[in-house]
Structure 1
Amino acid sequence: MTKLQGNRSNNMPLIIGTLIAAALIALALFAGRGKSGEQASTASGAAASAKFDLSNKPVVGDASAPVEMIVVEDFKCPACKQFEATVFPKVENEYVSTGKVKVYSVAWPFLAEVAKLDEDDSKYAAQAGECAYEHGGAEAFSAYKTILFRAQEDESKVWATKARLKELAANVSGIDQTAFASCLDNDETLARVEANEEEVEASGVTGTPTVFIGGKKVENPGDYGQLKSAIDAALAN
């Protein structure tokens, strides 16, 4: 611990004056930071609009559903696992199964890179998801995504190895296992994943999960009330 040095009684006026000056400076900085934070938030919100080619994205729901919902996730993301376990089932029950909303999935593999891991298993998992869709269809992809999130381990370690991803895929009967293994081993969907990354960045996404309803970003998708309001507004339009 750093201590003040010198004679306590002689230095007391100086100390008090210094503390008052520091407090005034801190208040000024806080006020300035708050204002710039509001401006940054507004600018970010204005820029966050969906710029995705949905023709090749995994999708669940009626093709004629009037509202498009896009979910951007990383299979290593704990918040995404929570979203899929607690929020998405409500959307599925109230809106997808009733033909009102169709949901597109976009994998954004960024966590392994942020954590500076030896292997980019975020990208492996994203590729595996695309391989499941390619060699099993939308239903198989949806089942595989559920299994991936259930099998999720600590985001700070490499767990989504290609070997593990193939083991998990074996639990989905709709996937052609031979074609899936070849797809993953040969990085056949890598270009698609990297194209998704470019679209995610162009859409102003800064974290996962990010949800767009009718092309507009939902600020707090983990709050089902906010998500429901956004969907109902899109349906009304």
Structure 2
Amino acid sequence: MTKLQGNKSNNTALLVGTLIAAALIALALFAGRGKSSEARADAASGTEVKANFDLTNKPVVGDANAPVEMIVVEDFKCPACKQFEANVFPKVENDYVKTGKVKVYSVAWPFLAEVAKLDEDDSKYAAQAGECAFEHGGGEAFSAYKTILFRAQGSESEIWATKDRLKELAANVPGIDQAAFAGCLDNDETAARVDANEKEVDASGVNSTPTVFVAGKKIENPGDYAQLQSAIDAALAQ
């Protein structure tokens, strides 16, 4: 067995050096673990956002053969969604939907009523109503009803999208079978679809509304039409 040679002073210096080296290694390992935790936290917070939706039976407007898919994740109680619907979507509709280049899917994500701790989840009622409008009126009726919903939007902190109110608003859309719509909403016939939407939103890492995807890629600032237009044009060029 080979032993360390030298006097007591040298042995002490060696021991101190060894302890310092061990401390530095431990610090590096801790830092590495910290970075991994931060990466997991970023992923959980929605830093990595990727469209993960089954678009079967999702409300959609536009030509079924349109080459580019756009997905809008929205809550009908969301003021920013109302602004997107009023100021940005009409441009998309005019430039790309009506020309057969883009089809737009709506994914209702009802969360604001829950955040506000309201006694009734009118975010979910509104989401179900949108699905019922699509089911009993088609894409154009759904689009018209969605526009009316946003125009009638009340405060986030108040229950305004009651089932009675939602049926009143639907009466303004000629393309909707009113009796079928009322039955659909009263019997929560589309509740399962809305629940499925919520799971897909979670799986996609979405944490705000409106969130917009073009050809599967998230648009960082959907309120900026120039940015949205650039993404659509790039998708069309592929």
The answer on 1:55 being equivalent to 2:89 is no
**SS in structure 2 at match of 1:211:** strand
SS in 2 for 1:54: coil
| Cα deviation code 1:57-101 (max 9, x no counterpart) | 111111111110000100000000000000011111111111111
Q: Over residues 184-213 of structure 1, what are the superposed CA-to-partner deviations in whole Å (9 max), with x where a residue is unaligned?
A: 011000001000111111111100000000
59-68 or 40-49, larger mean C-alpha shift: 40-49
1:69 corresponds to = 70
Q: Residue type matched to 1:153 in 2?
A: G
Superimposed CA distance per residue, residues 99-127 of structure 1 (whole angstroms, 9 cap, x where no aligned partner): 11110011000000000001000000000
What is the CA distance between 1:229 and its match in structure 2?
1.1
Question: Normalising to structure 2: TM-score of the pair?
Answer: 0.81
After superposition, the C-alpha distances for 1:137-179 in whole angstroms (9 at most, x for unaligned) are 1111111000000000111100000010000001111111111
1:189 aligns with 2:157: no
Could you list the runs of 5+ residues in structure 1 that have no partner in the other structure? 1-35
- Write out the 4+ residue segments of structure 1 that deviate beyond 3 Å after TM superposition: 36-46
CA-atom RMSD in angstroms = 1.9
Contact 2:113 2:121 in 1 (8 A): yes
Deviates most, 211-220 or 37-46? 37-46
1:165 alignment counterpart = 166
- Map 1:18-29 to 2 at 5 A: none
Match of 1:153 in 2: 154
Q: Does the 8 A contact of 2:42 with 2:48 survive in 1?
A: no
Counterpart check, 1:215 vs 2:216: yes
1:217 positional shift? 0.6
CA distance in 2 between counterparts of 1:215 and 1:111 reads 25
- How far the C-alpha of 1:41 sits from its partner, in A, is 6.4
| Alpha-carbon distance in 2 for matches of 1:219, 1:226 | 8
Identity of aligned residues (%): 82
- Structure 1 residues 42 and 126 mapped into 2: Cα distance closer, same or farther (>3 Å)? closer
Question: In 2, distance between residues paired with 1:40 and 1:233?
Answer: 31
Match for residue 94 of structure 1?
95
Counterpart-to-counterpart distance in 1, 2:80 and 2:38: 24
What is the CA–CA distance in structure 2 between the aligned matches of 1:208 and 1:39, rounded to whole Å?
22
Whole-Å Cα distance in 1 between the matches of residues 116 and 132 of structure 2?
A: 25
1:32 paired residue number:
none
Whole-angstrom CA distance in 2 between matches of 1:116 and 1:48: 27
1:53 CA drift (Å): 0.7
